[in-house]
Copies of this chain bind each other. A is one copy, B any other.
């Protein structure tokens, strides 16, 4: 371990490892080090729920690299079990704390990629066996061990975001009854109401006891856990908390780093913070939303990878590559029901002063006469003055191929007329002769003036 690096990277999951690899691709002779709080680096956090139902065979499969392998292949030094606890931007060092030591590590350029941690409400039971979060590979291991040992018949998930829904899926598939509690009136964040209703009805029909507008007030532990909302008490064998994440930026507080209210580090398109020679990337940082024009907190694996890569490159070469921003594209599934969105919701588009229009279409994913032709519902948001497509919201089967069209068109400022004109490839196993996106375009065109 040196006491100074050309490029010092704090945090080594998606953004940090991408940054290190990218920096060393630009200039392999640089001294680059990653300091990582946890004992491992570089894992696919989005795959964590799927270890529980065996869609991912072993937790180990989630690791892209061990520290040793990463060091060997990419050329960056990796120090695990080192947490950043302080920083001095004047003298340009980070104070890191290991198991036995504290050191000042100086830098020429600093990349902060410390990620985010689950928000854990302050209940006394936290820390007891049977109450979990879902953020790190160790969480999977603990949950699997608990299930094996205790054969729980009922689990309660607190928080109905993407992780909550995915954990509900994998527990239901493992034969465990699930109650999902969400404080807001809907699950899955900013979602169109029609789409939400279809998706949540499917979840309920498939065994999830869904309680929206339910705030957990307390959790007690007797024989079983008792989760108390203002409306009721739910007895349960295990609890998974997934109410959201907060950026790991405590060591930066009072250091004049520009942050959002939630303490996400505000970065520009070059991944620069407001502090000279300091970049940030991934779940600890903001992402520029092209459609809203705002720096937002949308922590996602793809964004982390891209931002990390750009931060690494720019730290070496000066500011040569821009992160163009996101539009809030998301996809997930619950058993055989998929949900995807991209761009704006109707409400958000109204807020942004568009002359908003929408169409809501139901159609088959394949030719109606072809085997297993599933249903799709699609709500498209567009500007009625220009025809510009602003958002796409899907629920149903085989929607990945449809949402990707809308992503592409939003990026190219495409209109409903342009969508209608597109020569989409067609064959009965893949789509009806009029794809749902074309039907939507046709209906939307009539509303554009």
Contact = CB atoms under 8 A, between A and B. Distances in A.
A14 interface: yes
A340 B425 contact: yes
A417 B445 CA distance: 29
Nearest to A322: B421
A294 to B, nearest CB: 15
A341 B427 CA distance: 12
A342 B14 contact: no
Interface string A51-87: 0001111000110000000000000000000000000
B46 A421 contact: no
A365 B369 CA distance: 27
B370 A428 contact: no
Contacts of A62: 369
Copies in the complex: 2
Interface residues of A, number: 62
Contacts of A326: 423
A320 interface: no
Interface of A: 14, 44, 46-47, 50, 54-57, 61-62, 162, 300-303, 305, 324-333, 340-342, 367, 369-371, 398, 400-405, 407-409, 411-414, 418, 421-431, 433-434
Contacts of A44: 367, 369, 428, 433
A427 B333 contact: yes
Contact of A328 (B300, B412, B423, B426): B423
Given A305-B433, A398-B400, A414-B411, A46 B428 contact: yes
